[in-house]
Structure 1
Amino acid sequence: VEMQARLGATCLLGFSFLLLVTSSDGHSGLGKGFGDHIHWRTLEDGKREAAARPY
């Protein structure tokens, strides 16, 4: 019984730490989503760039 209580407390502590880390408001740069660093182009822009390449 003591082992189960210790395991439960460890899981709760780990889950709490995970919530604390993931709930940051992004001031440290971790709050960015997918594609924030990508220079998005339209399909037509991509076609023009591909046609302008020498290879």
Structure 2
Amino acid sequence: MEPRSHLGATYLLGFSFLLLVTSSDGHIGLGKGFGDHIHWRTLEDGKKEAAARPHY
């Protein structure tokens, strides 16, 4: 095996391990989806809230 291909295989293995570690949901706080921290409103509630705000 050439040194360059060995180095490439090492990088690929390291990158794969990094993806595996960061994608695991074994820790608290990981594995949540997009928008879990957003206070969602309906369209009608948003319209009422926008109408109640002062316009400059």
The reply to whether residue 28 of structure 1 matches residue 37 of structure 2 is no
SS at match of 2:28: coil
Name the TM-score, length of structure 2 as normaliser.
Answer: 0.71
Q: For 1:42 and 1:26, how far apart are their aligned partners in 2?
A: 33
Q: Which runs of 5+ in 1 are unaligned?
A: none
Runs of 4+ in 1 over 2 A off after TM superposition: none
The corresponding residue for 1:50 is: 50
Q: CA distance change for structure 1 residues 51 and 26 in 2, over 3 Å: closer, same or farther? A: farther
The corresponding residue for 2:9 is: 8
Q: For 2:26 and 2:50, how far apart are their aligned partners in 1?
A: 36
Q: Which runs of 5+ in 2 are unaligned?
A: none
Q: Aligned Cα RMSD in Å?
A: 1.7
Q: Percent identity?
A: 59
Aligned length: 54
Name the TM-score, length of structure 1 as normaliser.
Answer: 0.72
Amino acid paired to 2:34:
F
The corresponding residue for 1:40 is: 40
